[in-house]
Chain A
Amino acid sequence: MAAGIASDRRRILRDPALFGAVAVLWLLLALFVLYPLAELLVRAFSDDGKLTLEPLLSAVADGSNRAAFLNSLILATTVGILGTLLGFLFALTAVRAGLGRRWLTALDAATLLPLVSPPFTTSIAIVFSFGPKGFISHYLLGLDNISAYGFWSTALAETITYFPIAYLTLRPIIAAIDPNLEEMAFSLGGSRWRIFRTVTLPLAVPGFANAFLLLFAASLADFATPLILAGNSFAVLPTQAYLQITGMFDFKGGAVLSLMLLVPAAAVYLLQRYWVGRRVYVTVSGKVGQRSRSRAIAPLASALLVAGTALVTVAILYFYALLLYASVVVAFGANNSLTWQHYHVIFTEGLPAIRDTLIIALVGMPLGGFYGVLVGYLIARRRFPGRQAMEIVSMINYALPGTIVGIAYLIAFNDPPLALTGGALIIVACYIFRYSPTGIRATVALLQQIDRSIEEASASLGAGSGQTFRRVTLPLIAPAFFAGLGVVFIRSMTAISATIFLVSLSWTLITVRILENMTELALGPAAAFSVFVIVVVFAVVSALSALLARLRTPTAGAAARSLLGG
């Protein structure tokens, strides 16, 4: 090992391009990942300059904090189970029910919607449906004494929002189960149900575990949905931490609460990445739908699958229709006459938020895309001291719940020497270091498919490492670059959990305006903002997908999928 490190060290010193890139990246990672996290820990664990566990202990001793911690776990478990089941239903239907191409496209579109929506969309729709004068509760059912707030509505909204992750995780796994395997069991005389139970389900188990953990993490970190729907009776950690800081300006309390969130989040992340994730052996071949139709599912079961999937799809579409409708009527439920006034509001009063968000997204997009490709390339292809450390550090902000990252940035960059809060730079940096890891992963995955000898060929022909990167590697990993761009843009338009701590009077975000509108009960503009974001994001995703389809590299397809998987 020692010999290897020594030669790595020699190598990097003689390669100025590599040395420069690694040095700059470490500087940035230190500044925007390690430093804020360190500041957060210092703030949480020190008192008058002394190291102490006292704040953490007293936070744990506080009954309401313990309740919030427990609530977070209960909610995450519920969403994990429900979302995995729903994702499995959709995946099984997509792969095995023999739907036509057009129906599959509709299914994909319906599952895509929640992924590209701003975080409040489902919450708003639930308020419209079950709130006071709610469309379903009041008009359809005539019930006026039910509440749209609390545990179940939060769980429902999060399940609808996050189950597409389970769908995207499970679909390739089920597709990879060879129908011949089931056919063989069938030919041996097993009943269909027995085959499903003894062959199909066991093969999908690692996928279930993976999907559950991903959903658990997503729910644990979700800030927006509980803020709208959970109400006072069902407090969870991210919202508690937020209220601690914005309501009481208690940075230390917020830091401590966010650290309570860190424990389960880190546990789940490690479990997912290093244990379950490695057991899911599926190569995404893009051949879904080209297999012979499986007979292993009985016609009746198939019909039930389609019916269940259709029901959920209709529910999702109904939510979005409701949102669209609410954005074009004067006051939903009270005055249903058509109007453009909400759109007028968001493009006049709301214009600064739209402008700021677009500027931040458009600045962050190329930077994040380039950063992702560069880090991915260095990790996958170059040898230099600290390479593995860089891989881990670059993933931290992605793995941490947004609330923790937001509070850490707030604490780290609020005072000199790095008083960056209030500006746009800090929001852009937050997005880049939080959402570029998708681009990093896509780049690494792509490079693993490209033989190393192609770059060696370039070197043998006289090209230095910078030139090789520019002339050979970059064109080949362009798909990952565009996927990375897309994810940073989408998240810049839709995220709130971290950046809500970083907005200011001079720089604000659409998502934050939606939240403000919701709390002021200005539901019309909130709906209009949401529709605007969905349209913009959908347009950008479509454009990028079309672009990826036109890139003639053999690896574009996989990158297109990571656009949504991120």
Chain B
Amino acid sequence: MAPISIRLDRVSKRFDHTVKGEVYAVREVSLSVETGELLTLLGPSGCGKSTTLRMIAGFEEPDEGTISIDGRDVTHVLPNRRGIGFVFQNYALFPHLSIFENVAYGLRVQGRPEAEIVRAVAEVLQLVGLARYERQQPHQLSGGEQQRVALARAVVFRPKVLLFDEPLSNLDAKLRVEMREQIRSLQKRIGITTVYVTHDQEEAMAISDRIAVMERGVVVQDGTAKDLYYRPATEFVARFIGRTNLLEARMLPSGEAAFEGLRLPLPAGRPAGATVRLVVRPEMIDMIAPGPDRGAVGRVVQRTFLGEKTDYEIELGTARLQVSRNDAFARATFEVGDEVVLRIDSANVHVLE
């Protein structure tokens, strides 16, 4: 296992709210990031992810807890003494400086010799694909180009840690995908420890080694994208990562969970009559035309054709289920009003504890 680079130990940050009084923006967050790892803080706006990132950077100071980088306690160290590279949501390029001077800034502050600065800036601009932009002014560049300059500026002075605060949210959808791949490949190439903040779960899953999901100032789950998707720890995580069906089922004496005609055998250990909450992803529900096969019978109430897949909404008793199918390989397509039989393999069911 790689050594720990960033460690947060029970870090809290309070602020004054005009109505609610003192509230916690971040509450007893403990995290560790291994050297070279990319950890994403994921959550809805206001969950404390940006505040956590800004405390790692030193822009905010925790009220409680400690933060260390490479074994050194930096809890009360000013941002300029931490050796971090930071990429902002709005790029935050210096509007009065050229692209060259923007990227050179950190090196100039360190007082490096001119020749070294020229070489390093050229090299890093090459790396982000902006080799001939040195003399341009920031306002002459597109949003994506500006963000690449910001990235170059953040890595040129070889920081120990790279921090991203929703770096792609000002870009359009296509560019976002392109840029996140660039960021990931650059991060891997230089092997820099990275913390990345986003509210976009798809972006988080695409880019991260590990994801920490935050809700109301607390880390509710910390794991790989697969962990979060297949084994969400809470209802919040289940709903926030991907789409989900959350079924409130009752245990039968047979050891099966019953939900509106569905019978799902679960591992033993739950008493009969107990309520269990089951997470079933829409693509894990099989749907066939009514026939001799046994299963729960539902009815299609809505159908949305999305090209690569088709989303259905199925009425099952009093419940509504989301079902997602790849119709090209499916045995049949269904129309609104059709009766269908639903089947779920209990291997694909996750029980919320």
Contact = CB atoms under 8 A, between A and B. Distances in A.
Partners in one complex: yes
A11 interface: yes
A459 interface: yes
B78 A14 contact: yes
Given A3-B14, A456-B88, A457-B94, A463 B63 contact: no
A462 interface: yes
Contact of A460 (B76, B84, B110): B84
A467 interface: yes
A472 B97 CA distance: 9
Size bin of chain B's contact surface? 35 or more
B95 interface: yes
Interface in B64-121: 76, 78-86, 88-90, 92-96, 105-106, 109-110
B57 interface: yes
B16 interface: yes
A553 B85 contact: no
The secondary-structure label for the interface of chain A is helix
Contact of A464 (B59, B78, B154): B78
A57 interface: no
Interface string B20-43: 001000000000000000000000
Interface string A1-30: 101100100110011000000000000000
A461 B92 contact: no
A453 B53 CA distance: 14
A554 interface: yes
Contacts of A14: 76, 78
A165 interface: no
A461 B153 contact: yes
A1 B90 CA distance: 29
Contact of B63 (A3, A451, A458): A3
Contact of A458 (B81, B85, B90, B105): B105
B86 A456 contact: yes
A463 B61 contact: no
A454 B61 contact: no
Nearest to A4: B16
Contact of B106 (A4, A11, A462): A462
B76 A472 contact: no
Interface residues of A, number: 28
Contacts of A471: 105, 109
Nearest to A478: B96
B85 A460 contact: yes
Given A456-B86, A553-B95, A554-B95, A10 B78 contact: no
Contact of B59 (A1, A4, A456, A461): A456
A286 interface: no
B155 to A, nearest CB: 11
A451 B90 CA distance: 9
A476 interface: yes
A554 B106 CA distance: 24
A563 B69 CA distance: 48
A231 interface: no
A312 B326 CA distance: 79
Given A453-B90, A454-B93, A462-B80, 10 more contacts: A454-B92, A457-B88, A457-B92, A457-B153, A459-B79, A460-B82, A461-B109, A463-B109, A471-B105, A472-B94
- A-B complex: 8 closest residue pairs judged by Cβ atoms: A461-B106, A460-B86, A453-B92, A459-B79, A457-B92, A453-B88, A462-B109, A463-B109
29 contacts: A1-B16, A4-B15, A4-B16, A10-B61, A11-B61, A15-B78, A451-B90, A451-B92, A453-B90, A453-B92, A454-B94, A454-B95, A456-B79, A456-B92, A457-B92, A457-B153, A458-B94, A458-B105, A459-B78, A459-B79, A460-B79, A460-B154, A461-B85, A461-B153, A461-B157, A462-B80, A462-B106, A462-B110, A467-B109
